[in-house]
């Protein structure tokens, strides 16, 4: 009788363990992640490249792996102490959550994480200048990218004729004091694109914020950032360098 009972208990234990494992999603390659449908559970391992500020018990992370696969983790719950560790660039983490799409941006939501032991890895931006305006650009969503030789194009505020090299907030309603996002237009091969300095990623105290505030219409610039998507490509710029100032 005792033996039967032990056997039943052992089988129950195995069954429970199997069920628990079945609930876990195995770590995916980028191809598997791309193939997953929206709302499917996903699990990836990648390295923290940057973050938007921790707030209200949540954080947004820009991740990338050694194969240049980029991911955006939206509002992952963590404590402030955990956030301090997560925001060290190069930290390797495993993220399990659900694949989601918000205004075209593919992200991981309702995510849980585990910090992994690994050598830190910080990626170098890949030059995507030639893909600006092309459909293939979407294949590099969330990656750290660079755009070179762009000309600063004028931004306008509705109802006014004035031209500005950048705007505080999309319509010029913001300010430095309010730590508003910066919006600026760049031109390449006759086409204009809007880039953003996302203030929760690079706020008013950062170098890139100050550099954009110094831009002049006609400046030629190199930019680096993360290829975020919002109803189209909307790079979150982290670095701007003027390579050729506008003619006086």
Partner 1 sequence: MRKRITAGLLLICLLFVLTGCHGKQSKSGFSVPEHFDDQTPVEIVFWAKNDTNKNQVAVYQQAIDGFQALYPNVTVNMRLYTDYSRIYNDVITNISTNTTPNVCITYPDHIATYLTGSNTVAALDDLMDDPRYGLGGSEVRFDAPTKAEIVPEFLQECKIGEHTYAMPYMRSTEALYINEDYVQKLGYEVPEVPTWDFVWEVSEKAMEQDENGLFKVNGQKVLIPFIYKSTDNMMISMLKQLDAPYSTDEGEILIFNDTTQSLLEEIYIHGKSRAFSTFAISSYPGNFLNAGQCIFAIDSTAGATWMGSEAPMLDIHEEQVVPFHTKVTMIPQFDPEKPKMISQGPSVCVFSKENSQEVLASWLFVQYLLSNEIQLGYAETEGYLPVTRKALESDEYTDYLARAGEDNKEHYRVKIEASKLLMENTKNTFVTPVFNGSASLRAAAGQLIENTVKGARRKQEMNDAFIEKLYSEVSSLYRLDQISGNQQARTIPTGSWVLLGTIAAVWVVIAIFKLREAKKNKTKQ
* Contacts to partner 1 by CB under 8 A: 38-41, 55-56, 98, 100-103, 110, 157-158, 169-175, 177-178, 180, 231-232
Measured from the CB atom, the residue of 11 and 157 that comes closer to partner 1 is: 157
- Least distance CB 162 / partner 1 (angstroms): 13
Work out how close the CB of 35 gets to partner 1 at its nearest, in angstroms, rounded to a whole number: 17
Contacts of residue 58, Cβ cutoff 8 Å, sequence gap at least 6: 75, 76, 77, 78
Residues contacting residue 121 through CB under 8 Å, at least 6 positions apart:
47, 65, 66, 90, 92
Residue with smaller CB distance to partner 1, 34 or 110: 110
Helices (H), the chain: 2-23, 30-35, 80-86, 207-213
C-alpha 4: how far from its chain's center?
55
Smallest distance from the beta carbon of 39 to partner 1, in angstroms?
A: 4
Tell the smallest beta-carbon distance from residue 119 to partner 1 (Å): 35
Q: What burial class does residue 179 get, using C-beta atoms within 10 Å of its C-beta: 0-12 exposed, 13-18 middle, 19+ buried?
A: middle
**In angstroms, rounded to a whole number, what is the distance separating the alpha carbons of residues 103 and 228?**
11
Cβ proximity to partner 1, 221 vs 233, nearer residue: 233
Two tokens, residue 49: 């490249």
Query: Cβ 233 to partner 1, closest distance in Å?
Result: 11
């Amino acid at each position: 009788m005792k033996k039967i009972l032990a056997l039943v208990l052992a089988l129950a234990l195995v069954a429970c363990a199997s069920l628990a494992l079945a609930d876990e999603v195995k770590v995916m390659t980028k191809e598997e992640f791309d193939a997953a449908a929206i709302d499917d559970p996903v699990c990836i391992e990648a390295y923290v490249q940057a973050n938007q500020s921790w707030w209200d018990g949540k954080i947004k992370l820009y991740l990338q792996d050694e194969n240049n696969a980029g991911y955006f983790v939206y509002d992952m719950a963590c404590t402030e102490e955990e956030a301090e560790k997560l925001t060290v660039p190069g930290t390797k983490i495993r993220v399990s959550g659900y694949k989601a799409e918000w205004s075209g941006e593919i992200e991981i939501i309702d995510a849980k994480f585990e910090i992994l032991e690994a050598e830190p890895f910080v990626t170098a931006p890949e030059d995507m200048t030639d893909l600006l305006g092309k459909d293939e650009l979407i294949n590099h969503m969330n990656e750290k990218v660079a755009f070179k030789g762009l000309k600063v194009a004028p931004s306008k505020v509705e109802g006014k004729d004035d031209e500005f090299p950048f705007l505080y907030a999309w319509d010029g309603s913001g300010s430095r004091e309010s730590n508003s996002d910066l919006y600026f237009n760049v031109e390449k091969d006759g086409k204009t694109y809007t880039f953003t300095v996302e203030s929760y990623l690079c706020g008013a105290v950062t170098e890139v914020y100050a550099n954009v505030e110094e831009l002049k219409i006609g400046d030629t610039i190199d930019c680096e950032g993360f290829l975020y998507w919002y109803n189209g490509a909307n790079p979150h710029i982290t670095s701007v360098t003027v390579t050729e100032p506008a003619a006086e």
